[in-house]
């Protein structure tokens, strides 16, 4: 960081770790809902059920195996990514069924695995391969994907790029849960560049638009150091 943080003030790295707990808590429910919507859309809008349904079903089975490892109490991100003789990994889903809904979602999860493993280049590459989806809960996954790309940029010390991704994440799903989270991260990234006025604008937006959010209290504390 460009400036030393005051005692008790959350750092950008701490904010990244804390806010991504949202994925661990809600990831499986959102993922299953998205897959169900994708399969239904495929059946309705033009693919033959005899082709789409079996591929989608098989891809979902492989995806479930990888997700179980990803979402376990002691997740093994490398195993979830690569798989083994006992179960497929996200890369297997992408390789065999990359064009299916599960294959698309696997790209998102593969990027997360690479991020946890410290492989920032592959994390960025796979997160970028994910294609956004429509509707809820898809828009939350879309926002999370963009936010994670912002996190990768932070790890690479490209704070300007991170701010752009966080802004896109807010636009992708402007709600009381994720929007203030990414606005706060963007403010910390602006602060890391020494851009205090820009950080202040983002923090004031949190206080004005999301006063009941978890980030509002932190935003109020940080605002005093950037004004």
pLDDT bin (cut points 50, 70, 90) of residue 163 is very high
Does the pTM exceed 0.85? no
Domains and CATH numbers, the chain: 133-227 (1.25.40.10)
Query: Mind listing the pLDDT tens digit for each residue in 70-114?
Result: 988 898 999 999 999 999 999 999 999 999 989 999 999 999 999
Among 25-29, 62-66, 107-111, 164-168, which stretch is predicted with the lowest mean pLDDT? 25-29
**197-205 CB contacts, 8 Å cutoff, 24+ apart:** 197/226, 199/226, 200/226, 200/227
Side-chain half-sphere of 195: how many Cα atoms within 13 Å?
Answer: 14
| Residue 78, token pair as written in the block | 């490398």
Judge whether 223 and 6 are in contact, CB under 8 Å.
Answer: no
Q: Are 163 and 151 in contact (CB under 8 A)?
A: no
The structure tokens listed for 45 are 């809008």
Q: What are the percentages of helix, strand and coil residues in the chain, rounded to 5? A: 75, 0, 25
């Amino acid at each position: 960081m460009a400036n030393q943080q005051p005692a008790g003030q959350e750092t950008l790295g701490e904010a990244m770790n804390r806010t991504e707990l949202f994925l661990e808590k809600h990831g499986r429910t959102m993922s299953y809902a998205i897959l169900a919507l994708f399969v239904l859309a495929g059946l309705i809008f033009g693919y033959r059920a005899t082709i789409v349904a079996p591929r989608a079903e098989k891809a979902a089975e492989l995806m479930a195996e990888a997700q179980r490892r990803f979402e376990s109490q002691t997740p093994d991100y490398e195993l979830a990514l690569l798989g083994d003789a006992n179960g497929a990994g996200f890369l297997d889903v992408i390789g065999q069924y990359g064009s299916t809904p599960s294959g698309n979602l696997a790209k998102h999860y593969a990027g997360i695995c690479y991020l946890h493993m410290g492989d920032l280049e592959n994390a960025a590459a796979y997160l970028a391969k994910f294609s956004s989806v429509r509707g809820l809960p898809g828009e939350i996954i879309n926002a999370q994907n963009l936010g994670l790309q912002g996190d990768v940029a932070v790890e690479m010390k490209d704070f300007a790029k991170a701010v752009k991704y966080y802004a896109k994440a807010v636009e992708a799903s402007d709600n009381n849960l994720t929007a203030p989270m990414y606005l706060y991260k963007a403010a910390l990234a602006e602060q890391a560049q020494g851009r205090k006025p820009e950080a202040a604008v983002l923090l004031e937006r949190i206080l004005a638009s999301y006063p009941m959010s978890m980030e509002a209290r932190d935003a109020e504390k940080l605002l005093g150091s950037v004004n």
